[in-house]
Amino acid sequence: MSKQNALLSAGNIGDIAVANRVVMAPMTRNRADPDGTPNDLMRDYYAQRASAGLIVAEGTWPVAAGQAYNRQPGIETSKHIAGWSAVTEAVHQAGGKIVLQIMHAGRIGSHHIKGSDVATVAPSAIQARGEVHTDSAGMQPYDVPAELSTEQVWQVIEEHRQAAKNALAAGFDGVELHCTSGYLPMQFLCSDSNQRSDEFGGDVQGRVKFAVECIRAMASVFGAGRVGLRMNPGNRFNDTKDADPAGSHIMLLEAIADLNIGYLHMMRAPIESIDAFKIGREKFTGTLIINDGFDANLANQAIEQKQAYAVSFARHYVSNPDFVKRIIADLPLTKFDRKTLYTPGASGYSDYPNAEM
């Protein structure tokens, strides 16, 4: 018998009833068809992992301009909706719950991936330092982005509403806004990448507005209790720089307080001076999910000690589709192969077996 009773107990994440507190964290795996359509591989991969209380499906672009990576899925076209419908149906049939992470990459974009007719956009025309792997031309610098006009920012917010409508049509149980890792909501939030002087820029009240309005739009479709927000204050990935990361994130949580969204999905801060989990507990009244570097024992302890309601796991889920069963039966975990994290095909994706009992 497992001793992880807190982690394995049923409950509710926002308005979503879950069989346990084990959440599969979102992981970009780049297995979709070239046009972003989810396929049978993705259906099998997610269905294999349906014993998680909740799956947060990988960062998915709402519109072509928001795509970051080759073979990253979208939720824009009727083909995308049909592909994701097969995924959600398979997960539900296996008894699981699944929400979709909406990820607009903003300036983390390359025309070698999106095609030269698709713009790369951002709060300000400031190129992100760094390079991205492209299938057609190897490593490439990010595009110099075009600055969005105020009217265009409102359009991008509407695109988030439409993405949520499409996710609802595809049978998802909810949606999560990807507000970390240097993608568009973070580009608005951070003082370095947002040099605007309109209502979406300037001081921190202006810089939080884009994320607030995206969340409001997503909640208008699903109901607030089925909307989540992913955060990681202090994250510097993809050239993210902010003069006061803790202050910006606190301001964002204060600005969404009256929206009463279902959950906050908080990653551990990569710098010691920020206690992200404490910020989550103090500034958010909905369900708190915490993440980064947990095993089942530590996760169970964290829930017992009321540090959080649920814990999410990413890397364990790469190679342990039956992670929950392994917790219950105290079975060893399989290590994953780094080389196949982002490569096309089933190898290192949907071919990791369940544990032998």
Ligand X SMILES: Cc1cc2nc3c(=O)[nH]c(=O)nc-3n(C[C@H](O)[C@H](O)[C@H](O)COP(=O)(O)O)c2cc1C
> Could you say whether residue 215 binds ligand X (CB under 6 A)?
no
Contact with ligand X (CB under 6 A) among 4, 20, 28, 187:
28
The DSSP bridge pattern shows strands 138-141 and 131-134 to be antiparallel
Residue 37 beta carbon to ligand X: minimum distance, rounded to whole angstroms: 17
Buried b vs exposed e over 223-262: b needs ≥16 C-beta within 10 Å?
ebbbbbbbbbbbbeebbbebeebbebbbbbbebbeeeebb
For 135, 141, 156, the CA distances from 111, given in Å and listed in that order, are 12, 10, 19
User: Which is closer to ligand X, CB of 124 or CB of 319?
Assistant: 319
Candidates 292, 300, 303, 320; binder of ligand X (CB under 6 A) is 292
Best CA proximity match to 16, nearest among 100, 83, 124, 77: 100
Residue of 45, 313, 323, 349 interacting with ligand X (CB under 6 A)? 313
Q: Are 138 and 202 in contact (CB under 8 A)?
A: no
Judged by CB under 6 A, the chain residues 150 through 169 that form the site for ligand X are none
Is the Cβ of residue 142 or residue 196 nearer to ligand X in the bound state?
Answer: 142
| Catalytic residue (choose from 183, 263, 317, 342) | 183
- Annotated active-site residue 183? The verdict is yes
Residues in the chain: 357
- Contact segment (CB under 6 A) with ligand X among 34-42, 119-127, 209-217, 309-317 equals 309-317
Strands 11-13 and 16-18: antiparallel
Query: By CB under 6 A, what part of segment 247-286 binds ligand X?
Result: 267
Contact status: 291 vs ligand X (CB under 6 A): yes
Nearer to ligand X, 196 or 279 (CB): 279
Residues 168-197 that bind ligand X (CB under 6 A): 178
Cβ-based neighbour number of residue 278 at 10 Å: 12
**How many amino acids of this chain bind ligand X (CB under 6 A)?**
17
- Which ranges in the chain belong to alpha helices (H)? 5-8, 40-48, 78-93, 111-114, 150-169, 184-189, 204-207, 209-222, 245-256, 276-283, 296-304, 315-319, 323-329
State which of residues 8, 18, 20, 26 lies at the interface with ligand X (CB under 6 A): 26
Closer residue to ligand X, CB minimum distance, 29 or 209: 29
Nearest distance in Å: CB 313, ligand X: 4
Element (H, E) at 175: strand 174-178
**Which positions lie near ligand X, rule CB under 6 A?**
25-28, 58-59, 101, 178, 230, 267, 291-293, 313-315, 341
Positions marked active-site: 183
